Structure 1
Amino acid sequence: MTAAEAAERWPGLRLPDEYAALFDPLGGVLFSERCLEALKAASLRQGATLLIGGPVRELQVRPGEVVLEWEGRRLVAENLVITLGAGAGTFLRRWFPEWRIPVQPIRKTVAWFRCSHRGPSDAPYYRADGFPGYLVETDEGTYYGFPDFGEGVKVGRHDGGEPCDMESVNRNFHARPQDQQVLRDFLGRFLPYANEFQRGSVCLYTMTPDEHFVVDTHPEYAHVAVGAGFSGHGFKFAIVMGDILARMVEHEEIPYDLSPFRASRWASDSQ
């Protein structure tokens, strides 16, 4: 639809005249905390043991077996699946230095802003029952967010960010002047009534050079698999990624072409 048509449908939205809008009525929003709770509960029902906290002290990989020391425990398993988010790079460099997978944590910020005006129906412009999740490509960058589910409109910038180390990254939202300002500038141009800052948060992307995932098995140990480098857009694929990684270590058929996600795509860069 045109910018004018989009503004008529969502009066709180401001788009330049040359912009076009694509609306997907089947699109939606995942409540990530609820998803994680549901996945954890399902895993526990199927016999998983959940252990939280602490670094791996020792790791040995042998044919058909993995032994690791963790918080005073000696754990022995037939398979190992590595899905460590922003910690994947550090872990892989320490325990699998031969497995050259270039992943880089990036410091990102998101924030929530309340709407200061009401629309024609006397409801706030960006309330979830009348406004969609959004992604806007601008000359300055790509921004995204969710409507107001009760704590304000969520906004973040998908590109850019600051390379960091997971252990030492500054998680204070106000540590950089731009933490809030770049988000406020975007809202002022495109969602101008979302102007009452509520809170901000620091999160981490784990980027690959081409922004595609890494889903692969170790070149020497087929019972060791990795899922990493999801580059800020992996959460919605969590279910299928879990299925793929399980099939990998169980040596089952995978009904997908995973060639774009092989770690070997960077092999020539390390030679």
Structure 2
Amino acid sequence: MNITDPCKKTQASITAANNVLKNPEVQTKMDAVLKGKINAPKEWSVAIGQKPDGYEVTPAIEQDSTKGTVPSSQLMNTYIADGHSHAGNPGVPSGGDLYKMIKALEDSPALRYRYVYGNYGGLPEVYAFVIDNPALAKDFVNQFPESENYDPKTHGIKEESPLGKEFYRAENHASEGRFTNSSGENYESRAVGFAYILEKYNAGISIAKTDANGNLKKINANVQQITVPNSGGKVKEGVKISKCP
């Protein structure tokens, strides 16, 4: 069986996502602005366009408290990325963030990056969905349609759906302490759930989080037999968490 290294497979797209994020224009008009909105009562969002010599970033637009619309129609250049804040909540992307990003590929085939800003213990945290292969992303939603696997009331993955059963398999292990984590990072349990299903189903998308230096690092999660921490050496199913270099 040909097993592809998940880090090598996505290295180019994660590097590109970091290059956009670290661009001075993006740092000024998205990163600094949205980090300043993490405790705002409503979400804020920006869209990013690809210019011949750099990037165009729209002004941040105030949205609703739990959802919003990307202001991509304001762009004069090709829409490639967007960012939004989660009003007073963690930065882990939602199920809606994932499904709406893939749906946006229909009209915006160059879209690749979605940056999400949130509050982690009073400090800003940044997650991102990074599209590595748009064709695989479309195959993923054909296999797991939004209507069957997304809960619009919670903005999350529907619990008893085909996708939800695997998502919450990993998420529950993470939230209930059945995990090993070699990343040196703290991940919200839903981020672990996304990392697991996106890799398991070869979705052509990665989830990443910025480290202490502000660099996005892909999150890896694999459900397997582990020695559960603080269990006296018990071996049972759990989730192994790591990040790419």
Shorter-chain TM band: under 0.3
User: Rg bigger for which structure?
Assistant: 1
TM-score by length of 1: 0.22
TM-score by length of 2: 0.24
Name whichever structure is richer in helix by fraction.
2
Name which structure has the greater RCO, CA cutoff 8 Å, separation 6+: 1
